[in-house]
Amino acid sequence: MNVNAEHEWDHTYTINGEVFQGDGSTASDVEVKIDCSVGKSEPSLCEENLGRSERTSMSGKFQLALHVHSTDHGLRLVLDIDGQSFNHTINLNGDDGQQTEEDRTVDAEFTLDHDVSKMGMYIIIALVGMTITVPFLYVIRNSKSSTNQPQVSRSSLKKKASTSVEMARCPKCDVKVKESNLESHLMKVHHQSESKAKELAESVKDE
């Protein structure tokens, strides 16, 4: 073991905890922090760990890693769990009285005298649900829009084609030509005068 690794474990104390509600069920999403108010945790522990906190998982478990020194053995640590205080004594010595790396991890259970609020958990579930649902609805909406858009376009084009290009039958040769070209057709092909061609074209439009 190198010096740095030894120094690291020598300054670490980890509490693997599990929190239960008053009815015996696990307490999920509750805050676990060090209580550094007057008369609570030893000042030396607070100096190194002020502000450290964790939240319990859905199964009520948490892992709180603290910075300690070998001289902190036997000091009192007070944990604030959902507003309730729990005393914990820092034990750095093993059964043989020696301080080893294995002694720097402890398992502990904490039982609250009350049931915790489920509001935080409900909010998390709602946010997760929204995160999944909103993009899903967005994809469906875009999918429907892309499916309907070509149909609208084809319908519009068909309507536009049927209304913008009007055909007329020539009264002289019975050939269909564009309505806008009928006068020119009568003048060039059938040698009608401009006034006569216009008159014939108007009569066809009025039919």
Rg (CA), the chain: 43
* pLDDT reported for residue 2: 44
Of 96, 117, 138, which one is at a domain's C-terminal end? 117
Phi, psi of 113 (to 5 degrees): -90, 15
* CA–CA gap between residue 26 and residue 18 (Å, rounded): 8
Give the CA distances from residue 11 to residues 40, 88, 95, 105, in Å, rounded to whole numbers and listed in that order.
22, 18, 19, 12
- Would you place residue 98 in the very low, low, confident or very high pLDDT band (cuts 50, 70, 90)? confident
* CA–CA gap between residue 10 and residue 12 (Å, rounded): 6
* pLDDT reported for residue 206: 67
- 106 near 77, Cβ under 8 Å? no
Q: What 3-state class would DSSP assign to 168?
A: strand
Residue 20 in domain = yes
Beta strand extents in 28-92 (DSSP E only): 31-34, 53-55, 61-67, 76-81, 84-89
Provide the whole-model pTM.
Answer: 0.54
Q: What is the pLDDT of residues 136-174, one digit of tens each?
A: 787 887 877 766 665 556 666 565 555 556 887 888 887
Of 83, 117, 151, which one is at a domain's C-terminal end? 117
Residue 138 in domain = no
For the domain that residue 28 is a member of, what is the CATH number?
2.60.40.10
Residue numbers of the domain that contains 182: 165-207
Phi, psi of 169 (to 5 degrees): -95, 125
Same domain, yes or no: 106 and 24: yes
Q: What 3-state class would DSSP assign to 81?
A: strand
- Across the beta sheet with 53-55, the strand order is 53-55, 31-34, 76-81, 84-89
- 72 near 92, Cβ under 8 Å? yes
* pLDDT reported for residue 186: 79
- Pairing state between β 176-178 and 53-55: unpaired
* CA–CA gap between residue 195 and residue 64 (Å, rounded): 102
Tokens standing for residue 168:
């007329």
* CA–CA gap between residue 110 and residue 81 (Å, rounded): 9
Residue 88 in domain = yes
Does residue 4 register a pLDDT over 50?
A: no
Same domain, yes or no: 88 and 184: no
Find the mean pLDDT for residues 18-40. Answer: 94
